[in-house]
């Protein structure tokens, strides 16, 4: 076996490139207009914006769940979308009649793995999200946080290059949300998938992301691109640190400016 050779140019290529991306549903006004964006490989990027500004639509376009009306999406690193993208929704969307292990194994079964192989990898993925003991539990036996962990395990079991997360923790209580954020960062550091994480929460984006893209509505566009250059691992102490407060202030100000501009334009 020979090692894969990588030139520096390979590493410089973005994981994802959006150029002039726009979307309109039917004859309504465009939901997204002319979005140009490069997403660096292995980065953690948050999309932050008010309700209705098109965050979910952007994620759905990247996932191929809906088609652009203009512009396009490129995968400069060549892996292509189908094999390497996973999606986590706000609802865990588990099959109620199947155990946690069978839910997590589903994408592998769909890829053609045997039940035995899929089960082994699903068990590993459940252990990675702290659910080693819950493989045979049914969704109704699990708390909201545990169900979300199963959903994350199902997304990661295929070893995606890109993980798309659409407000995955919005329905959870604050403590559970913080635990899941800690665990998500741990998994991201270990597995190095690129993450696009949609949220309404300034604090969640400042805790998680290296880069916050603030979105403005009508039509949806990127109104601010903020770097959060704090190192990882980000411990609970980061949540009460001065840099965290400063990044939160900057992101809140950018969001407030976006909302003010949107009101003026409305
Ligand atoms: N399938 C669809 N058909 C028609 N309009 C749609 C469709 N999906 C979304 N929209 C409209 O597009 C706009 C953006 O919706 P989208 O869900 O992308 O925003 P969002 O920023 O994710 O909002 P939220 O934070 O509330 O989830 C909204 O006005 C919504 O009504």
The pLDDT of residue 98 is 97
Is the distance from CB of 86 to CB of 159 less than 8 angstroms? no
Q: Which of 25-34, 110-119, 131-140 has the lowest mean pLDDT?
A: 25-34
Residue whose CB lies within 8 A of the most ligand 1 atoms, among 28, 55, 164, 205, for a mutation test: 55
Q: How far is CA 104 from CA 82, 87, 91, 111, 157, in A?
A: 18, 13, 15, 13, 7
In sequence order, what DSSP letters do the residues of 151-207 get, joined into one string? HHHHHHTT--SEEEEESTTTTS-HHHHHHHHHHHHHHHHHH--EEEEEES-HHHHHH
Best CA proximity match to 261, nearest among 200, 216, 212, 213: 216
Q: Ligand 1, atom 29: nearest CA belongs to which residue?
A: 52
Distance, CA of 246 to chain centre: 24
H helix or E strand, kind and range, residue 225: strand 221-227
The pLDDT of residue 119 is 96
Is the distance from CB of 179 to CB of 172 less than 8 angstroms? no
Task: Report ipTM for this prediction.
Answer: 0.96
The pLDDT of residue 5 is 47
Is the distance from CB of 30 to CB of 48 less than 8 angstroms? no
Mean pLDDT, rounded, of the chain: 91
What distance in angstroms lies between residue 58's CA and the mean position of ligand 1's atoms?
10
pLDDT bucket at 2, cuts 50 / 70 / 90: very low
Ligand 1 pocket residue status of 65, Cβ below 6 Å:
no
Q: Which residue has the tokens 């954020």?
A: 181
pLDDT in tens, 64-99: 999 999 999 988 877 666 558 999 999 999 999 999
* SS3 of residue 12 by DSSP: helix
Ligand 1 pocket residue status of 258, Cβ below 6 Å:
no
Residue 213 is encoded by which pair of tokens? 């893209």
pTM of the entire structure? 0.93
What distance in angstroms lies between residue 117's CA and the mean position of ligand 1's atoms?
39
Ligand 1 pocket residue status of 57, Cβ below 6 Å:
yes
111 has a pLDDT exceeding 80 = yes
pLDDT in tens, 131-147: 999 999 999 999 999 99
The pLDDT of residue 218 is 84
Q: How far is CA 174 from CA 163, 224, 227, in A?
A: 23, 27, 25
Ligand 1 pocket residue status of 20, Cβ below 6 Å:
no
pLDDT in tens, 184-234: 999 999 999 999 999 999 999 999 999 999 999 888 999 999 999 999 999
Q: Ligand 1, atom 25: nearest CA belongs to which residue?
A: 51
The pLDDT of residue 83 is 52
What distance in angstroms lies between residue 162's CA and the mean position of ligand 1's atoms?
22
Ligand 1 pocket residue status of 107, Cβ below 6 Å:
no
């Amino acid at each position: 076996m020979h090692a894969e050779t990588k030139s520096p140019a390979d590493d410089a290529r973005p994981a994802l490139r959006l150029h002039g991306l726009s979307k309109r549903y039917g004859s309504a006004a465009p939901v997204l207009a002319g979005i140009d964006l490069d997403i660096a490989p292995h980065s953690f990027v948050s999309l932050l914006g008010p309700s209705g500004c098109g965050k979910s639509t952007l994620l759905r376009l990247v996932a191929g769940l809906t088609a652009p009306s203009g512009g396009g999406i490129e995968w400069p690193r060549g892996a292509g979308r189908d094999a390497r993208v996973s999606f986590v929704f706000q609802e865990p969307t588990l099959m109620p009649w199947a155990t946690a292990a069978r839910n997590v194994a589903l994408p592998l079964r769909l890829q053609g793995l045997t039940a035995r192989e899929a089960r082994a990898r699903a068990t590993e993925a459940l252990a990675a999200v702290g659910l080693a003991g819950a493989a045979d539990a049914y969704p109704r036996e699990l708390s909201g946080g545990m169900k979300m962990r199963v959903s994350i395990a199902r997304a990661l079991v295929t070893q995606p290059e890109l993980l798309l997360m659409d407000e995955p923790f919005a329905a959870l209580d604050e403590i559970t949300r913080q635990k899941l954020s800690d665990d998500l960062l741990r998994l991201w550091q270990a597995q190095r998938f690129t993450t696009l994480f949609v949220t309404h929460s300034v604090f969640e984006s400042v805790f998680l992301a290296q880069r916050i893209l603030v979105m403005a509505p009508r039509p949806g566009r990127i109104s601010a691109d903020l770097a959060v250059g704090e190192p990882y691992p980000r411990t609970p102490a980061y949540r009460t640190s001065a840099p965290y407060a400063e990044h939160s202030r900057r992101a809140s100000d950018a969001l407030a400016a976006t909302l003010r501009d949107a009101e003026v334009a409305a």
